[in-house]
A and B are shown apart, each in its own frame.
Chain A
């Protein structure tokens, strides 16, 4: 069995990307007459400077790890799963419903609600995967479309059939205590679940036959077919797995933090998952530090506004720039490295 190894060579680009992005972000902040050092210090000390801060960071990192994994497993199969957002929302709603509608003892209620989340996330992933495998529709479009469809559908469900009665807001009733995921040693338990899943995926890809299939399909579909692998089924499997994991992300968010389903709750968690996955080069273990970094940035966004006067949307911009520098071959050329980037199948009808 392989042991995890850190390839320091391939850390260079992600690290450099973050640095360069922070630099350019700093310039934009400076133009607005704000001291970038103050802003960034506020950012990082809030995220990592105190026990409370770390707990918040890890709580924010949890759904990022999971949605990053959802995108990553797609990438390994040669797919670009932009639908983590929609899959996450389906999972969140499903788990919220299981949380308030079912009456079960705690030990059972928590996993059941999570499983509901996983199932519905997997369902959305399945639609995209099946359309790609059997109808040749490119998953980038279907997942983006499905994101919007799921958002609209969830909004509808939370405002009518699943709505919390006797109040005007669009949201489901609060989940029962028995479905809430407690903290563990002051840290969100969900974080440990996420890390466990990350290790699980790493092990799965490297040591199982199904994992080998996913990797092979991602690298050379024809060779995979020649080798007797069921290519279409593998594609669907990867999307279903990704969807399930994103669904779990939604479930954990609901059960640890929000306590119910509110449509606006999770702006962009799924998209940050893309940044996480690409920053980690689709490596399941790399997803963990990437998610913690981005989680930290998200966690302290509002403090940055409070202490330095910078809009929290700066974080959106910083993340976009990090993504740009990670994927564009600019830095690789500067470092004269061979680009071992993630390659996807491009074009339609594959």
Chain B
């Protein structure tokens, strides 16, 4: 039978970065093909090319035998391609119905017929069993529900090829299982599915074929029968990957960071942190595991005094922290590796050296009173670039010239080189290549061994389990359990992350 999707020798460069290097792949009706690779391997780029959002430099893409051209998203949709994007393509202030009908609105005499629209949405809900309220406003929805809207939107047209880009990044393990079941159902009805992920477990669970990308190139094509998780990991990375980090035992000391009954509101004024208490001892890593969107960001921001507290206290080395003063938190001894390095952690236009002193530019030796000591900044820059293996021709170059992984290293270098008693690391290896991930992990362990109290917040359960000494699980704005990392039951934690009691 004809392939639904044929990608032949597609190449795409962004500047000097080769995102896709002569990739070929095929999806047949009723097949589930998993596109596997680590962050930055080129998966998203490839798939966006299918949907007309990215123009390949060379190669061909055919849907049902017909060639596709760039920018023709409407054409792709017409030919039966549906896409569920990694970052939801939904308009936050509009309702579920409005979002679903956007671009192809049911009409009555030239105007939109909301009656027909609502009816359509309800029939979709019934057909696929994905519950949503047609009149709810998207920005008020929890993430899992919003994703259902995204999926319904893609399924609304008669879809023959469904593409999903990292669909489970924001789902609990339970929601993930439900999604995988939906995919199996669709495949059994003849829909072809191409789904991108970097989670090995899911791939083994549901894929018929697995295509692995590495560094923009095709690293291999296999099936779950032929390869297991460590085989896949090896294909993804190109060498035997140590999935566990080498670390010695922790030697915890006194409590360096304490959070008491913390309450914090999110940007929408809803309570995101609902009374959290925890303690981090110096010389230990406390990992906070949880699916994104359960209050972690607000927790971290409150601890680093970047967000105001509704209630509760943050105590660093015995002294309570003032509210909403990042500077005070820093002076009290809290370093912060922020979740969003581009927005919070770096100024791309500044030199690497300036970025390395970004949050202590006004303290000696980088400034004497009002006047900056530019030589000291320069020397520090040169030193740290060496120590932290930041790949750049010069520390005077702008940070914008660095790759993602190296930018993160700049942030890590800045924070850890200050040797402050408390380190708060939020998603420290997101969007970072594997080599840099290993490096950063080592640095965090070494900070711990030097006596720092490290609070690690990560959505990657594996990262938490391998780095942390103790693990706290956050769900719905509360800490639902705290266990030792040694011997922790992965399934148990997964269930807690999902909000189940046991």
Question: CB atoms of A and B under 8 A apart anywhere in the complex?
Answer: yes
Identify which of B138-146, B338-346, B484-492 touches chain A: B338-346
Complex alpha-carbon distance, A216 and B346, angstroms: 10
A1 close to B374 (CB less than 8 A): yes
Q: How close is A60's CB to chain B, nearest CB, in angstroms?
A: 34
Pair A2/B374 contact, Cβ less than 8 Å = yes
Say yes or no: A212 contacts B361, CB within 8 Å.
yes
- CB-CB under 8 A from A2, the residues of chain B are 374
Partner of A209 from B330, B348, B372 at Cβ < 8 Å: B372
Identify B359's interface contact among A210, A220, A222, A227, CB under 8 A: A227
Report if A225-B326 is in contact (Cβ < 8 Å); known contacts: A209-B372, A210-B370.
yes
Residues of B contacting A208 in the complex (Cβ-Cβ under 8 angstroms)? 370-372
B361: A residues at CB distance < 8 A: 209, 212, 227
Query: Is the C-beta of A226 less than 8 angstroms from some C-beta in chain B?
Result: yes
- For B350, the chain A residues whose CB sits under 8 A away are 216, 219
Q: Do B370 and A226 have beta carbons less than 8 Å apart?
A: no
> Does any Cβ of B come within 8 Å of A106's Cβ?
no
**Roughly how many angstroms separate A2 CA and B371 CA in the complex, as a whole number?**
13
- Is B347 touching A223 in the complex (CB atoms < 8 A)? yes
Q: For B420, list chain A residues within 8 Å (CB).
A: none
A228 lies within 8 A of chain B by Cβ:
yes
In the assembled complex, the CB of A199 is this many whole angstroms from the nearest CB of chain B, namely 16
Q: Return B187 CB to nearest CB of chain A, in Å.
A: 43
Q: In the complex, what distance in Å separates the CA atom of A229 from the CA atom of B370?
A: 14
Q: Does B480 touch A at the CB level, under 8 Å?
A: no
Interface core residue of A207, A220, A229 (most chain B CB under 10 Å)? A220
Q: Which residues of B311-369 have CB atoms within 8 Å of chain A's CB atoms? A: 325-327, 330, 336, 338, 340, 343-350, 358-359, 361-362, 367
Question: Which residues of the other chain, A, contact B345 by a CB distance below 8 angstroms?
Answer: 223, 226
CA distance A74 to B306 in the complex (A): 25
Complex contacts, B349 vs chain A, CB 8 Å: 219-220
Contact B362 A222 (CB under 8 A): no
Give Cα A210–Cα B369 distance, bound, in whole angstroms. 11
Q: How far is the CA of A207 from the CA of B375 in the complex (A)?
A: 11
CA distance A220 to B358 in the complex (A): 12
Decide if A223 touches B374 in the complex (CB within 8 Å): no
In the assembled complex, which residues on chain B have CB atoms less than 8 Å from the CB atom of A228? 325-327, 330, 359
When distances are taken between beta carbons in the complex, the residues of chain B under 8 Å from A223 are 343-347, 358
Q: Which of B121-137 contact A (CB under 8 A)?
A: none
Check A226 against B338 for contact (C-beta < 8 Å).
yes
| Total cross-chain contacts (CB, 8 A) | 60
Cα A220 to Cα B344 in complex, Å, equals 8
Q: Which chain A residues in 230-280 approach chain B with CB under 8 Å? A: none
Knowing A228-B326, A228-B327 are in contact, say whether A219-B347 is a contact too (CB < 8 A).
yes
- Complex: A210 Cα to B349 Cα, angstroms: 18
What residues of chain B lie closer than 8 Å to A209, measured between beta carbons? 361-362, 367, 370-372
Give A209 to B345 CA distance when docked, in angstroms.
Answer: 19
How far is B344's CA from A179's CA once the two chains are assembled, in angstroms?
A: 50
Given known A-B contacts A216-B347, A219-B347, A219-B350, A226 and B374 have beta carbons under 8 A apart: no
**Shortest beta-carbon distance from A221 to chain B in Å:** 9
Q: Are A226 and B347 in contact (CB under 8 A)?
A: no
Among A1, A2, A209, A227, the most chain B Cβ lie within 10 Å of the Cβ of A227
Given A209-B362, A216-B347, decide whether A226 and B336 contact each other with a Cβ distance below 8 A.
yes
Contact B344 A222, beta carbon cutoff 8 Å: yes
Partner of B347, one of A1, A210, A220: A220
Q: Whole-angstrom distance between the alpha carbons of A65 and B344 in the complex?
A: 35
Asked if B343 contacts A220 (CB within 8 A), the reply is: yes
Tell whether, in the assembled complex, residue B344 and residue A226 are in contact, meaning their CB atoms are under 8 Å apart.
yes
Whether A226 contacts B362 by the Cβ 8 Å rule is no
**Chain B residue with Cβ nearest A209:** B362
User: Contact between B372 and A226 (Cβ–Cβ < 8 Å)?
Assistant: no
Q: What string of 1s and 0s marks CB contacts (under 8 Å) between B367-404 and chain A?
A: 10011101000000000000000000000000000000
CB contact list, A298-315 vs B, under 8 A: none
CB distance from A230 to the nearest CB of B (A): 8
Q: Which residues of A contact B344 (CB under 8 A)?
A: 222-223, 225-226
Give a binary string over B175-194; 1 marks a CB under 8 Å from any A CB, 0 the rest: 00000000000000000000
- Which residue, of B306, B346, B372, has the highest number of chain A Cβ atoms within 10 A? B372
CB-CB contacts of A192-220 with B at 8 A, as 1s and 0s? 00000000000000011110100010011
Chain B residue contacts of A1, Cβ below 8 A: 374
**Docked complex Cα distance between A209 and B343 (Å):** 21
> Which residues of chain A are near B374, meaning CB under 8 Å?
1-2, 207
A residues less than 8 Å from B340 (CB atoms):
222
A216 and B336 CA atoms in complex are apart in Å by 18
Contacts of A219 in B (CB 8 A): 347-350
- A228 smallest CB distance to B (angstroms): 3
Q: A207-B374, A220-B346, A226-B344 known; 13 other A-B pairs, CB under 8 Å?
A: A1-B374, A216-B350, A222-B343, A223-B346, A223-B347, A224-B347, A226-B306, A226-B326, A227-B359, A228-B327, A228-B330, A228-B359, A229-B327
Sample 17 A-B pairs with CB under 8 A, ordered by A number: A208-B371, A209-B361, A209-B367, A209-B371, A212-B362, A219-B348, A219-B349, A222-B344, A225-B306, A226-B338, A226-B344, A226-B359, A227-B358, A228-B325, A228-B326, A228-B359, A229-B327
